[in-house]
Amino acid sequence: MLYKEYANKVLDELRHTLTAVDQESAKTFVNLVEEADEVFCAGAGRSGFQVKGFAMRLMHMGISSYVVGETCTPNIKEGGLLVICSGSGETKSLVNHAKKAKEMNAKVAIITINPKSTIASLADVVVEISAPSPKSEKQGDVVSIQPMGSLFEQSEGIFMDIAIMMLMERKNMTSDTMFGRHANME
């Protein structure tokens, strides 16, 4: 295939997964982020990279956000929200994070392929991304030409960017107002 053929196929896959996300789950996810005192973000591998980008955008909005596992991340407590990105919903370290969050009376949100996973059973909201992954028994309802879990990882990142856009609208923010918090020690 030529580059443009690959590009069009990938865009079709993304259109399918992103438009299949349940509207109420997306709304609940955004509500939980907006209501949280602090947002803690966790994921492993490429999902971890995606959720770090979400934490950064929350910071740009002036929302207290942290990446679980970083040395400057405080403890989670009641009023906090843990956002987990996990295709399988079974990654042991992330299951432990979810259990700790619930133990502290914090909320948990998961973006996953598997709405019947251990983490999903602990979550206050489950955002299901219907994409295949070699780590999940549930494979979504689209066959991807992309390797491994790429479609899920791309979709979760774009979903979180859309959630940021929804928050920006609610808070009457623009890219210009957010840019004031952009790093200046680069």
Query: What is the DSSP secondary-structure string of 62-112?
Result: T--EEETTSTT-----TTEEEEEE-SSS--HHHHHHHHHHHHTT-EEEEEE
Query: Could you tell me if residue 179 is inside a domain?
Result: no
Positions marked catalytic: 153
> What pLDDT was estimated at residue 135?
62
Query: Could you tell me if residue 102 is inside a domain?
Result: yes
- Residue 130 sits in a domain whose CATH number is 3.40.50.10490
- If you average pLDDT over residues 122-147, what whole number do you get? 80
Summarised one tens digit per residue, pLDDT across range 11-45 is 999 999 999 999 999 999 999 999 999 999 999 99
153's enclosing H/E stretch is helix 150-170
Query: Could you tell me if residue 67 is inside a domain?
Result: yes
Distance CA 186, CA 183 (A): 7
Summarised one tens digit per residue, pLDDT across range 86-120 is 999 999 999 999 999 999 999 999 999 999 999 99
**Number of domains into which the chain is organized:** 1
Query: Could you tell me if residue 182 is inside a domain?
Result: no
Q: Which residue has the tokens 């949280």?
A: 36
What's 136's DSSP letter?
A: -
Which residue range is the domain that position 20 belongs to? 3-172
Query: Could you tell me if residue 133 is inside a domain?
Result: yes
